[in-house]
Structure 1
């Protein structure tokens, strides 16, 4: 890496110390202020802290930048001000010099680059926090893509994560019990470790490829084992168009894409008990027949049968607007705190009215929902502001954290696709397929 471990530590420790000073100053300055002024001051502090963290992490390739990217996707864990600032880390990172990439490939695969490949494009077509992707040609003339992890990126994982966690804690961002903090950061750490292990990702690709092999319209590249290792992953090249291009196509094609994206996630959850949890638009490509190509299987979440049954029960009660049963489901999922405080039925109904609209579930919405004109994300913000007094009764849940990331990501894919579609038949198809009296895998 460009920076030594010592320099990385100093930079992150400096960020933490700076945030600690800001938090202390803010607390003293508004000690005697009224509640409204304190809330406004805290919001301004969080905006400042979020920008500082994003700027610092954005300058540093590797695990720490990936931590920031993962954190930005957990909007139910971090305050909106911090999550929004961290979103800029989702953009492509500057590429690493080719000589370092060449050395990494040769070291990992044990041969000179010109023996391994007939052609290897020096300029990557994608560069991210922990690696970059190059197009290449095998000696057999097969076109492939080669994902190369940056040298030594995995060595700073634990120290980077500890520094980011400390900075967030000092800023008062992690307003939750120590046990819950441990669970959440264990989830983030595991997600990070999984994404750094290309052998595990290769196995994921094989599993998901086999699972979707009969699904027409879902395409998953194949692993080239002879040219893959823990830090280099070579795959068959599967080309498609970007989401921005697909958004210009006719609505009937966009509907096919939307159905494939729905089946991609729901099929995995209820049929495989593991899910591709990084639905960033860059991880998909699209064809004019409505086919979806899926990439990047580093971020996978496995679920137990018990967890899947809880998800199914939650969805059944949500689509039937059964708020009494829904509250018990939220307790079982670890979202509703185990206390005796009262949350009125109207609170849950308001959230259901918002959440069921994109799925075209009556009475929230009926018919084809126009994602291009969706106001659901704005409705969520308004509802959060109007129901702040009940939010202490709820908490982030390690069980649902990755699923929240997946569902919200797919919602934004459909918004950016601009599709008009009724998804309710697909919802009921999966509920009927997984009725309690049917055999479960």
Structure 2
């Protein structure tokens, strides 16, 4: 088994080797295709991106720790990469092999200042989940309460900044970042901040407590684990054990139950975006569980994005303009959100078609399992491609877009078949 966190020197050499190899591939590609026609150049470029994407995924996936987490975060921002690279690094979402229990035990005892026997009545040696920066064990407190203990791998936090710099260098050398340098700087700062937050379990504990208090006031069937602060630290997080069924199991329940779950999930995330202004931004299905009484359980508040009031108001104005088919105003707010490079260039008929596709799941009696919006969007991509460079990924919108699209797929997996227009109006009330 590969070591979870290799020494800084070995990790640097492995990343530097990957970067040098990518640089060589890029130069060789340029030299080989000097006399090729456009079609041959495009095919060769696509093949090069596929090879480099696989290399990045394999290198980061083998290394575990902060650098693998960097790759996972990069896969959340896949809009800024060519599809060949995005597809490869998306594989980094998979679970990592666990760390030996001896090291986990030492980490918990070091962080909490007592022996495992003093802290817990029982502590499962086998983790039930293992990821890039830590793993999760079930345990029982001395008073008999069942908990889960999230333990960060030793040495991961220290590696964070250098790992991110190496990954960025590799991506820049291969010339695949589709955005200008200034925007790159903003995006990578956001990735750095996101990584810093995920590596600090005290921040996640605060996020959990804020979200739990927020949702308890609005809907007791949104269930978020309770933090046990006396059994938690910067690198250890102990939470109440909250169990539910997977999205796959929930998809077999009655249509009425599935619709209730879908509504509750959409409303909860929408309330976080538009009212709390700090939201759970990792819509991976494994971060949610469900109960047949209609309850939705939300796990893992390590990834939380905070929005300014200005950005939220711009989003609301964009929604109003889209629903009114006021495309000039819509473009104005896309510019304010740093998502549109030039106004007046995208055809009105295409705007009309895209707005209908995007709003259809929220404004009609929509069958998410049939997924007509996605299928129609695939057809609409072809006539829209030549205008694609007008739009750009924005630090203000990337995580909102990723969260909304991820929750859309969660509703597909739940096979929701309902008219959600009332929830949509509740989240972004129509103007009088």
TM-score over 0.5 for the alignment? yes
1:151–1:17: structure 2 CA closer, same or farther, 3 Å change rule? same
- Counterpart Cα distance in 1 of 2:321 and 2:344: 21
**Structure 2 contact 15–166 (Cα < 8 Å) conserved:** yes
- Counterpart Cα distance in 2 of 1:55 and 1:18: 13
1:96–1:9: structure 2 CA closer, same or farther, 3 Å change rule? same
Aligned to 1:287: 291
Q: How does 1:82-93 map to 2 (within 5 A)?
A: 82-93=85-96
Give, in angstroms, the shift of residue 381 of structure 1: 4.3
1:392–1:11: structure 2 CA closer, same or farther, 3 Å change rule? same
2:293 is equivalent to residue 296 of structure 1 = no
**Structure 1 contact 73–83 (Cα < 8 Å) conserved:** no
Aligned to 1:309: 313
Report SS of the residue matched to 1:48.
Answer: helix
Aligned to 2:83: 80
Report SS of the residue matched to 1:148.
Answer: strand
Aligned to 1:410: 407
Aligned to 1:105: 108
Aligned to 1:236: 240
Aligned to 1:201: 204
Report SS of the residue matched to 1:336.
Answer: coil
- Counterpart Cα distance in 2 of 1:167 and 1:2: 20
Give, in angstroms, the shift of residue 247 of structure 1: 0.9
**Structure 2 contact 71–89 (Cα < 8 Å) conserved:** yes
Aligned to 1:34: 37
154-163 or 39-48: which moved more? 39-48
**Structure 2 contact 80–179 (Cα < 8 Å) conserved:** no
Aligned to 1:357: 360
Report SS of the residue matched to 1:342.
Answer: coil
1:395 is aligned, of 383, 392, 404, to: 392
Aligned to 1:140: 143
Give, in angstroms, the shift of residue 332 of structure 1: 0.9
2:91 is equivalent to residue 94 of structure 1 = no
- Counterpart Cα distance in 1 of 2:75 and 2:378: 17
Query: For 1:163-191, what per-residue CA distance to the aligned partner results, in whole angstroms no more than 9, with x for missing partners?
Result: 11111111111122111000000011111
2:346 is aligned, of 343, 350, 360, to: 343
Give, in angstroms, the shift of residue 32 of structure 1: 2.7
TM-score, scaled relative to structure 1: 0.94
2:426 is equivalent to residue 422 of structure 1 = no
Query: For 1:10-49, what per-residue CA distance to the aligned partner results, in whole angstroms no more than 9, with x for missing partners?
Result: 1111111111111112222222323233222222221111
Aligned to 2:169: 166
Aligned to 1:46: 49
Aligned to 2:326: 322
**Structure 1 contact 74–404 (Cα < 8 Å) conserved:** no
**Structure 1 contact 258–414 (Cα < 8 Å) conserved:** yes
**Structure 1 contact 71–78 (Cα < 8 Å) conserved:** no
Aligned to 1:6: 9
1:68–1:207: structure 2 CA closer, same or farther, 3 Å change rule? same
1:245–1:200: structure 2 CA closer, same or farther, 3 Å change rule? same
TM-score, scaled relative to structure 2: 0.95
Give, in angstroms, the shift of residue 277 of structure 1: 0.7
Aligned alpha-carbon RMSD (Å)? 1.6
Aligned to 2:252: 248
2:207 is equivalent to residue 210 of structure 1 = no
1:357–1:46: structure 2 CA closer, same or farther, 3 Å change rule? farther
Give, in angstroms, the shift of residue 321 of structure 1: 2.5
380-389 or 36-45: which moved more? 380-389
- Counterpart Cα distance in 1 of 2:62 and 2:100: 16
- Counterpart Cα distance in 2 of 1:2 and 1:222: 30
Give, in angstroms, the shift of residue 341 of structure 1: 6.5
**Structure 1 contact 327–336 (Cα < 8 Å) conserved:** yes
1:12–1:411: structure 2 CA closer, same or farther, 3 Å change rule? same
Consecutive unaligned residues in structure 2, runs of 5 or more: none
**Structure 2 contact 281–399 (Cα < 8 Å) conserved:** yes
Aligned to 2:190: 187
